[in-house]
Amino acid sequence: MIGHNDKWAEQARSNRRQFASGPFGLMLALLFAVSACGEAPQQDRRKVVAAACTGLTEPGMVWIAGGHFTMGEDARYSEEGPPREVEVAGFWMSQTEVTNAQFSRFVAATGYRTEAERDPPSLPGAPPEMLLPGSAVFRVPTSDNRNWWNWVPGASWRNPSGPESAIDGRDNDPVVQVTYNDALAYAQWAGLSLPSEEQWEFAARAGAESLPEPKDAAGNPTANYYQGVFPARDLGEDGFTARAPVGCFPANAFGLHDMIGNVWEWTTAAARPGLPVNVIKGGSYLCAANYCARYRPAARQFQERDLGTDHIGFRLVDNQLPAPR
C-alpha cells in the first residue's frame, strides 16, 4: 500500500517486489515488555464474548439518507485533506463487508477465478515465488527478516494466509485476498456497485463527530483494530487479534457494522488519474495508534487494483433502488 501522495507512482511499480519494513529494534524490545504483563479480567471477558461471536449470517442492506458533511475533516495525514463540503444523495449500503459465504456463492454460480488464483504478471528480476499464483500476506517481522509482507504462493480468498490456511468454519468472516477487479466483478454479478469514497466516508461518519480512535466513553474498543505496539504484539483488547466475523461490533447510527477496522474496504475513487491505484477506507485489524492509525472515517490509503492482501475486503451499495416508503 502507498502511505503518502509522493509515493504513489513509486509504490505502484514496486509493491509486488518489496513490502515495507519498519523500525524493528524498538518493536522487539516492546514485545518482550508487553509479553510480561498480565491481562486484566475485563479484557479476558471481552475475549470470551468475542470467541462466542459467529457474526451475521445473512446481512442485508440499509438505506442511507443523503446529506451534507465535511469530507476529510480533522485530517491526520496530508492525503486526507483539505476539508471540503460534500453533498451525498441517498443510497443503500451493505450492513457488513461481503463475507466468505457470499463470495463463495458468486464463485459457484460463475466459475470466477480471482486474480490471486491466476498467473501473476511477469516482473523482470522478480523472485521465483512471485511468478506463481498467490498474494500478499502479513507477517510479524523477525531479526533475520524485517519485512512485514510476504508474497505467498497459493494465498487466495479460499486460503487467506497460504495453502495451509483455510476458511472452513469461517463463512461469516469478511472475504479477503480480493483485488479491486475481483470486488468489481462480484458487484456486477450482484447487480450492485462499489461505493464512492464520498458515500463510504459519509456512511462511516453516520452524523457523528470525527473521533481519533474507535473507543466508547469508558475507553473500550468499539472496532477490531490493533491494541499494543505494532507489529510486536496485538494485545487483543477488542477480543480479536485477526479478522473478526462481520457484525461482532455494534453498528453505527446508520445501522452499519465494521465500517472502522476489521478489513480495509475498496472504493471506486482513483488515487490519481492515470495510475492503476484506488482508495481503500476504514483501516483494519492491523491499524495501531503507533503505526497507521487510519481507523477513522477520513483516513484513506492507496492500493494497487490488481493486488489483494489478507486485510482488504469490500462492501456494496445500491444506487438504483429507490428510498423506502
Q: What is the DSSP string of 143-197?
A: TTB-BSEEEEET-SSSSTTSTT---TT-TTSBP-S--HHHHHHHHHHHT-BPPPH
How many other β-carbons are positioned within 10 Å of the β-carbon of residue 267? 25
Cell 523482470: give the residue: 124
Q: Which is higher by pLDDT, 105 or 5?
A: 105
pLDDT level of residue 44 (50, 70, 90 thresholds): low
Taking 70 as the threshold, does the pLDDT of residue 15 lie above it? no
Residue 81 has pLDDT above 70, yes or no: yes
Query: Is 91 in contact with 62 (CB distance < 8 Å)?
Result: no
Mean pLDDT, residues 241-261:
97
pLDDT at 42 over 80: no
At 157, the pLDDT band (50, 70, 90 cuts) reads: very high
pLDDT for 48 equals 64
Greater pLDDT, 34 or 204: 204
All domains in the chain, ordered by first residue: 5-59+95-195+210-318 (3.90.1580.10)
Span 155-175, mean pLDDT? 97
DSSP string for 274-319? TSSEEEEES--TT-BTTBB---STT--EEEETT--BTTEE---EES
Rounded average pLDDT over 21-39: 38
Query: Taking 60 as the threshold, does the pLDDT of residue 5 lie above it?
Result: no
Least confidently predicted of 26-40, 65-79, 159-173, 209-223 = 26-40
Note whether 262 and 174 are within 8 A (CB): yes
- With a CB cutoff of 8 Å and minimum separation 6, the contacts of 110 are 189
Would you give the distance in Å from CA 236 to the centre of its chain? 17
Maximum mean pLDDT: which of 74-78, 146-150, 259-263: 259-263
Low-confidence winner among 20-24, 288-292, 317-321 (lowest mean pLDDT)? 20-24
pLDDT tens, residue by residue, 187-213: 999 999 999 999 999 999 999 887 778
**What is d(CA 289, CA 301) in angstroms, rounded to the nearest whole number?**
16
Spell out the alpha helix ranges (H) of 191-241. Answer: 197-205
Q: Is the pLDDT of residue 27 over 80?
A: no
Cβ neighbours, 10 Å, residue 218: 6
pLDDT mean over 219-236? 93
Kindly state the greatest CA–CA separation across the chain: 61
The answer, yes or no, to whether residue 7 has pLDDT greater than 80, is no
